[in-house]
Structure 1
């Protein structure tokens, strides 16, 4: 009995030491300030590489606050955007991309950044029957991208995303047309069917959205 009691006490003490150490490290980080830009940047990179993305966000705030004109800011924004995209946190990725566009609108690689923003929106398009506004917004961004950067090397990738988004939009319009047909509103149904016909998508090629069984009641209730 004494043996088990000693082991339990040992594990409890070790856990307490670990917790106090973690709190101490967190407290030390909170108190850090007035550091060189490279210090903050390297710390941010370490936190991203070890999976502490929230800490990296906080460290970027320190970098941006203390060194607003640092050349490291542009790279830091892109690194954070990419890290959040890897974690499927597309809204946060878009936040950093928007910040980059706001600060560095005339940089040489601005077409790449705008491509990443389109990609983040596209990757964030999860529910075919719920994200219609995101589809519309992304299509608008794609049209602007084509006009602004007609010779960009990222145009083929943007075109591929555009094709799939137009297919999604046609699917949505077809779902709405079918809804109006079911509730006996032929004029409304005809209006949306015409929208499908005017798209370059052949209505016969539109496949029904494959809705998982656990989402089916919620998705279908929308239409």
Structure 2
């Protein structure tokens, strides 16, 4: 009986090692693949909604095939996928990667617009994202100056107006808060910030769901 138990234990142990070995072989097999293999893995992961996997497969594509002609398309589909999931920081990461590696003059107009759109939509709370609002305003102004005849210019101008409105409302709300708490000098500081604004309170009708993002609804 003891012999049978020993033999059974030995068989279980051997099978365990066999499956561990197979797992190792499968893991090893995920290296040194053609660029098309990694590209298809990225695409299928995005289709399934598994962006973590898609990001991991991009790292493999980048490390093994940095100069592959599939790299630009992979970066763009990853940027769009993350933007669709409202993961704007990651979208901007891939757009930055694209610009660094493939940012030719003819493509920069589009990728710079997408970066601006990602920053704009990334503003979720005007109180917490004040710096992002100011950076986005500067980014939009730079875009209009750099690409005055761009097909995206009307959208960029609309975003810029929305950003100015958000900044104006923010300053006005902070000033009103200081008024309520008996700090008129502090309130004046914030109202003075609005004196040079391209918009006025009469121009603004605060939407129910917020100014930011309303452009793309």
TM-score normalised by structure 2 residue count: 0.79
> What is the CA–CA distance in structure 2 between the aligned matches of 1:161 and 1:27, rounded to whole Å?
52
Which stretches in structure 1 are left out of the alignment for 5+ residues?
1-20, 213-223
2:122 is aligned to 124
Correspondent of 1:145 among 143, 146, 162: 143
Kindly state the Cα deviation for residue 208 of structure 1 after the two structures are TM-superposed: 5.8
Aligned with 2:37: secondary structure?
helix
1:173 is aligned to 171
> What is the CA–CA distance in structure 2 between the aligned matches of 1:31 and 1:170, rounded to whole Å?
57
> What is the CA–CA distance in structure 1 between the aligned matches of 2:90 and 2:24, rounded to whole Å?
23
2:45 is aligned to 47
Q: 1:35 to 1:131 in 2, by over 3 A?
A: same
2:55 is aligned to 57
2:155 is aligned to 157
Contact 2:178 2:186 in 1 (8 A): yes
Kindly state the Cα deviation for residue 207 of structure 1 after the two structures are TM-superposed: 4.8
1:115 is aligned to 113
Correspondent of 1:84 among 73, 82, 85: 82
Q: 1:57 to 1:194 in 2, by over 3 A?
A: same
Cα shift readout 1:143-166 (whole Å, capped 9, x = no counterpart): 111121112111111111111111
Which stretches in structure 2 are left out of the alignment for 5+ residues?
1-18, 211-217
2:195 is aligned to 197
> What is the CA–CA distance in structure 2 between the aligned matches of 1:51 and 1:26, rounded to whole Å?
26
1:68 is aligned to 66
Tell me the matched-pair count.
190
> What is the CA–CA distance in structure 2 between the aligned matches of 1:54 and 1:167, rounded to whole Å?
36
Contact 1:196 1:203 in 2 (8 A): no
Structure of larger gyration radius: 2
> What is the CA–CA distance in structure 1 between the aligned matches of 2:159 and 2:60, rounded to whole Å?
36
Cα shift readout 1:10-55 (whole Å, capped 9, x = no counterpart): xxxxxxxxxxx9xx88983564111111121112111111222111
> What is the CA–CA distance in structure 2 between the aligned matches of 1:69 and 1:92, rounded to whole Å?
22
Aligned with 2:106: secondary structure?
coil
1:4 is aligned to none
Q: 1:172 to 1:27 in 2, by over 3 A?
A: farther
TM-score normalised by structure 1 residue count: 0.77
Correspondent of 1:183 among 181, 184, 197: 181
> What is the CA–CA distance in structure 2 between the aligned matches of 1:211 and 1:52, rounded to whole Å?
29
Aligned with 2:99: secondary structure?
helix
